Amino acid sequence: MRIDDGRLSSDRVNHKSSPFCDERPEETAIDLIVIHGISLPRGVFEGEAIDALFMGCLNVERWPELEEICGLRVSAHVLIRRDGSVVQYVPFDRRAWHAGESSFKGRSRCNDFSVGIELEGCDDIPYETAQYKVLAEIIGALRADYPAIGNDSIVGHCDIAPGRKTDPGEAFDWARLRKLLG
């Protein structure tokens, strides 16, 4: 897998354009990867609600349990579904709106300098082998294009927004990811 003009170049990637992104601040190096976990509704996989949220067309008549998040303006750069398929919503050279109020190593506004990768899942349900493999491939591609991303710069949403966020949760196997990354 490689990156061309901010986009993953692979026949395994479906590209969609989220309206919830903007330009990064000038001369801001991308040096952080934030791993998230998401399922909408909670515990439901392979549905259309995640796409609808990131594309700004969440229908609460269809998903009334999601009324409290309807209207949120959020996105991620990439979603890795349970089967390992990938959707890219925002080019990596643009700022996705995934981190919210956040801080990493004393720097706030993590969206400015990070890539947000969502894994379809929940904090307490193990992620799939296919997801780990694709995640490692994407991280490899990102590191090739953005060499400032070090081993200590791959974190969970919980690490940059402690007390506010818990994802990717206790079910995420950090040791497994580190082994895949070499």
Count CB atoms within 10 A of the CB of residue 54. Answer: 29
CA angle 104, 107, 111 (to 5 degrees): 75
Torsion sign, CA atoms 131, 20, 18, 49? positive
How far apart are the C-alpha atoms of 88 and 81, rounded to whole Å?
11
68 noted as active-site residue: no
- Joined together, the tokens standing for residue 143 give 């590191």
Catalytic residue among 26, 46, 118, 170: 118
- Joined together, the tokens standing for residue 124 give 């307490």
Count CB atoms within 10 A of the CB of residue 86. Answer: 21
Give the long-range contacts of residues 94-97, CB within 8 A, separation 24 or more.
94/6, 94/21, 94/22, 94/23, 94/24, 95/21, 95/22, 95/23, 95/24, 96/18, 96/20, 96/21, 97/20, 97/21, 97/73
Residues with a catalytic annotation lie at: 118
